[in-house]
Structure formats: structure tokens, C-alpha cells
Amino acid sequence: TLRRGLLTVYFVLCVCPGAGFLPFSAFLTDNFGRRHSYLRISLTEKCNLRCQYCMPEEGVKLTPRSQLLSTSEVLTVAQLFVREGVEKIRLTGGEPLIRPDVLDIITELRKLEGLKTIAVTTNGMNLARLLPKLKEAGLDLLNISLDTLVPAKFEFIVRRKGFHKVMEGIDKAIEMGYNPVKVNCVVMRGLNEDELLDFVALTEKKPLEVRFIEYMPFDGNKWNFKKMVSYQEMLDRIRQQWPSLEQLPLGKTDTAKTFKVPGFQGQVGFITSMSDQFCGSCNRLRITADGNLKVCLFGNTEVSLRDVLRSGASDQELLDIIGAAVGRKKKQHAGMFSISQMKNRPMILIGG
Ligand SMILES: C[S@@+](CC[C@H](N)C(=O)[O-])C[C@H]1O[C@@H](n2cnc3c(N)ncnc32)[C@H](O)[C@@H]1O
Ligand code: SF4
């Protein structure tokens, strides 16, 4: 009750830069003043690729369909969060574009007043085909995952064929006016760290933001410290080739540190979750495909919104449960070595 009272005071007094005094939900504000206005919803646990860093080779045990959030449950939850102040929703997975109702979900999300941005993170396999309809449905932002520019290596990393389809998806996204198209590249020593400069060179002629992601530990991905290439190491290597690389200003809740080679159309970013965590400005919450709310990517505490929804709970009861979970969010994650020892889901079952 005390917390709720304090949060209500905060709710009334909080200042949004550039917007004067604006209310923000007490339920989505944690004990460290972080306002969670960004929700990631995983639409499926299934995927048409098998990336080494995301899932174990033998696959993952899938949740029975009846226990996954239905279309209307996804929309009910989304609506509730948007009403409380969420402004951005990212659809992820598994591979979100293999869910048959993905276009319906985006169309319905687009109708939510207050929701400014709808984003999708995809492996790009079905993208070229679906893009016109995704755009028509109201998709604003695209992140496409690609870890190598060498077709044979692609097949090794993702354990499936499809390099050219992904490249086709990236080019089509540019052609359709998405700018910047973000390309997510997980950098792993001995696998693709030798391609850093090739990825940066790609931004010369294409309006891409290549985002180099530090390799993170999740269940079943055989993470070890030696395979991780740190932000600083990547930056040093790129600077050797392009000493004029300049850093761009960092937004309040940006997770990527972004840079640009002067004269290049695109830019590069670094997601430094391991070597330089950005928990202090974290504004994200996640909902897994089976309906669990996860307040931290690296935390294993979860609460089932699906069960609460299915018990016929009111919006207020749901909000109380969400507020309590947000209230338990830790100040920061436990550090990369502790995380690597900790039980968590494989990334494919979380939704990155
Ligand atoms: C889990 S995927 C889901 C969306 C879609 N299937 C895709 O690959 O873009 C979301 C993002 O998480 C990233 N990811 C997965 N496992 C990771 C790991 N161990 N470390 C860092 N990033 C990871 C992927 O590269 C991808 O960009
Ligand atoms: S990273 Fe994306 S594409 Fe790769 S296995 Fe995970 S969910 Fe699938």
C-alpha cells in the first residue's frame, strides 16, 4: 500500500521531457523510477531456423497450443498495457512471421489509441513475401537478424538454408521505405567476428543500422566468456579501419550505442548487455508466447498473465498482478557470469 501511495505521488508529479506534466501508470513504474513504456510480445515458440546461440540443437519442448495466448488474449493484454502508457510494442518469438494471425494482430494493434510504434523482430525468411501486407497493416519498424554475409556460414550458424531469402527481405524493406532497417548481428568469436568490417561496409550504400549484439548466455546455447566479443573490442577493430567513426547522441531509453562513418548512408550500433549493461534506463517488459510476464530478460521470475486472464479476473486484478511483478524488478541484472550459471529459458522461448 505504501508503495502504491508513493507511486501515486510519483504518478501525479512525474515529468515527461518535452511534454510537461504527464501521468504515467503506477503499475508500470518500478521502485527505481523506471517507466515501462515498451512491451515485447512473443507470438510463438516455433521457428523456421535453429540458430546456435538461441536454441539447443535438439530443439526445445514446445508448449501445447491451448496453453499459448490466443489472438484475442494477445490483444486484450496489449490493450491493457497501452491504456497504462505503453507506447511501443515489438512482436517477436520464435519467428513471429510464421504465426498465421500476425497480420490480424498488427491490424488490431494499429487501432489502439496511444500506441505509437509497432515493431517486429524477424529472421527475414518470410519477409519479402509478407512485407506489403505488413506495411498495409501498420508495421512501423523492422529488425531483421543476420549474423553473416557468407551463405555457407549462414547455414552453419542457423542450421538451415535461406541466406538469399533474408537478403531479399532486407532489400525489400529498404525499397519499401523502412529507414533505418535494423539488422541484428550476434557476434561470436571464431564464427563471425571476422566479418565486422564487412557489415560496417554494408552501411555505406544502404540505409541500414547494423546492430552488433554481444553474445548472451541462455539455457542450452553453450555460452562461454571466450566466445563473447565485447563492445570495446568491436569498436577498436572498426576504428582501425575507419578512425573517423563518430558516436551519435544516445536517447534516454536507447539500448544501442550508435555510430556512423561520415558519408555513409547507414549507421552501426552496439547492444552491450554483457560488458556495459543498460539496466538503469530499461523500459521494457516481455510477455512470452505462453503468457508469462517477464520483467527482465535475464531474470527467471515470471508471472502467468494467461492464468489470471483465464480465471476471469477483472482488468483491475490483472493490473494489480502486473504492478506487483514490476515492483519486484531488480535494479540491474546479476552480471554475465552469474547469468550464465542461472536457470533461464532458452532465448527462443523468451522472445528477444
Ligand atoms: C530470439 S530472436 C526472435 C525473433 C526472430 N526469430 C529473429 O531471429 O529475429 C530475437 C533476437 O534475439 C537475438 N538473440 C538470440 N539469442 C541470442 C543470444 N544468445 N545472444 C544475443 N542475442 C541473441 C537474435 O539474434 C534476434 O536478433
Ligand atoms: S534467433 Fe530467431 S531465427 Fe534464430 S532460432 Fe532464435 S527465434 Fe529462430
- Give the residue from 161, 144, 151 showing the smallest Cα distance to 97: 144
State which ligand 2 atom lies nearest to the alpha carbon of 50.
Answer: 5
Q: Is the pLDDT of residue 261 over 80?
A: yes
What residue owns the CA closest to ligand 1's atom 26? 145
Dist. CA 132–CA 54, nearest whole Å: 28
Q: Tell me: pLDDT of 18 over 90.
A: no
For residues 111-131, one letter each, b for 16 or more C-beta atoms within 10 angstroms of the residue's C-beta and e for the rest, the string is ebeebeebbbbbbbbbbbebb
Q: How are the residues of the chain apportioned to helix, strand and coil, as percentages rounded to the nearest 5?
A: 35, 20, 45
Q: Which of 99-113, 130-144, 305-319, 324-338 is predicted least confidently?
A: 324-338
Distance from C-alpha of 251 to C-alpha of 249, rounded to nearest angstrom:
7
From 28-37, 60-69, 305-314, 336-345, the region with the lowest mean pLDDT: 336-345
pLDDT over 90 for what percent of the chain?
A: 76
Q: What is the pLDDT of residue 4?
A: 53
The three three-digit cell numbers of residue 305, written as one number: 498473465
Q: Which ligand is nearest to the CA of 345?
A: 1
How much distance in Å is there from the Cα of 15 to the middle of ligand 1? 34
Ligand nearest to the CA of 49: 2
Ligand having the closest approach to the CA of 55: 2
What value does the mean pLDDT take over residues 91-118?
A: 98
- Does the pLDDT of residue 344 top 80, yes or no? no
To test the ligand 1 pocket, which listed residue (54, 170, 342) has its Cβ within 8 A of the most ligand atoms? Answer: 54
**Residue 117, C-beta contacts closer than 8 angstroms, at least 6 positions apart:** 87, 88, 89, 140, 141
User: What is the second-level CATH architecture of the domain 30-350?
Assistant: Alpha-Beta Barrel (3.20)
CA atoms within 13 A on the CB side of 304: 10
CA of 52 to the centre of ligand 2 (A): 9
Which residue has better confidence, 342 or 307?
307
Q: What span, in angstroms and rounded, lies between the C-alpha atoms of 82 and 86? A: 4
Q: At residue 280, does pLDDT exceed 50?
A: yes
Q: Which amino acid is at 230?
A: S
Nearest-ligand number for the alpha carbon of 43? 1
Give strand pairing partners of 186. 213
pLDDT in tens, 39-85: 999 999 999 999 999 998 888 999 999 999 999 999 999 999 999 99
184 CA to centre of ligand 1 in angstroms:
8
Dump pLDDT digits (tens) for 216-260: 988 888 888 899 999 999 999 999 999 999 999 988 778 899 999
Provide the pLDDT for residue 3: 55
This prediction's pTM: 0.92
How crowded is the C-beta side of 291, counted as CA atoms within 13 Å?
A: 23
Nearest ligand 1 atom to alpha carbon 350: 1
264: its cell numbers: 555513409
Beta bridge partners of 42: 92
Q: What mean pLDDT is reported for the chain?
A: 91
**What is the per-residue pLDDT for 8?**
46
Ligand 1 atom having least distance to the Cα of 223: 19
Which of 44, 49, 122, 350 is the pocket-test mutation for ligand 2 (most atoms within 8 Å of CB)?
49
User: What does each C-alpha distance from 51 to 15, 185, 237 come to in angstroms?
Assistant: 42, 12, 25
Of 55, 91, 97, 288, best ligand 2 pocket probe by most atoms within 8 Å of the beta carbon:
55
Tell how far the Cα of 183 is from the centroid of ligand 1, in angstroms: 11
